Amino acid sequence: MSNKLKVGIVQHSNSSDVTENTNKTVAEIKNAAAQGAKLIVLQELHRSLYFCQTEDTELFDLAETIPGSSTELYGELAKELNVVIVTSLFEKRATGLYHNTAVVLDTDGSIAGKYRKMHIPDDPGFYEKFYFTPGDLGFEPIQTSVGKLGVLVCWDQWFPEAARLMAMAGAELLIYPTAIGWDPRDDKDEQIRQRDAWIISQRAHAVANGVPVISVNRVGHEADPSGQSEGIQFWGNSFVAGPQGEMLLHADEKKEQTLTVEIDQARSESVRRIWPYLRDRRIEHYGDLQKIYRD
């Protein structure tokens, strides 16, 4: 039994020119499709610079409706190339109400579904709570022509509950569009610890749920517009892991890369038969997970 799927990831740097960024993204989607990819995943907020380094009301102008110009563009591209595309957009739901939203375009150009980022960080250089309302669509996989996709976004990747709920709802893949990097002032050892923790946590989601994980990050340095910090050095390292956490593809730390890899979705069935975590869960004893903390 085999169910092969070729996955493409697009890892690139960004500038302040939205048109330039979009042209780069479109070109690399076509590149991935030419390599045979049927599922192509983009990085978080790929249209612009990572604008959350500062709090600036003018930056809400970057937001767009869904459906809108980007979903129209990527829908037409998905249909033309006969691929599924996972995008990441700054959604304007209403005036004063915005989300960090992943949208999946199917091979017929339609919007197969969307996911609004649930966990919203608020840290120096990552002031996302200023811009994004937490998602309200829950952890629901999106059915597409290439399978049932458990799409999450960046900060969600640190939460095992999110991955588990997607897997419990039937997700065949876990997908994380991401924008994460170092503070250039951190020493090398701290940078390595942070990067390794990021990779380990997501590979653990693959292991614990018996499904592949696709994580796509950006690269390059983006300055802090306020000048209060040295900006963010995005660390790349986009990767695809198999259902036992094995690395199937691992991108460079600094280079812009469009890479593809074939995954065998049938392996999840085999892995879950020998590591039946879902069978052995003791849900009657997990009630305290609904508490913030056990005092």
List residues with catalytic annotation.
44, 117, 154
My answer on whether omega of the bond before 67 falls inside 30° of 0, hence cis, is yes
165 contact partners, CB below 8 Å, separation of at least 6: 138, 139
Question: How is residue 135 annotated by DSSP?
Answer: P
Amino acid identity of residue 117, one-letter, is K
Chain position carrying tokens 């829950």:
138
Q: Supply φ then ψ for residue 127, to 5 degrees.
A: -90, 60
Q: Which long-range contacts (CB under 8 A, 24 or more apart) does 268-276 make?
A: 268/172, 268/210, 268/211, 268/212, 268/243, 269/1, 271/210, 271/243, 271/244, 272/210, 272/243, 275/207, 275/210, 275/244
By the 8 A CB rule, do 51 and 59 touch?
yes
On the 0-12 / 13-18 / 19+ scale of CB atoms within 10 A, 167 is buried
By the 8 A CB rule, do 251 and 12 touch?
no
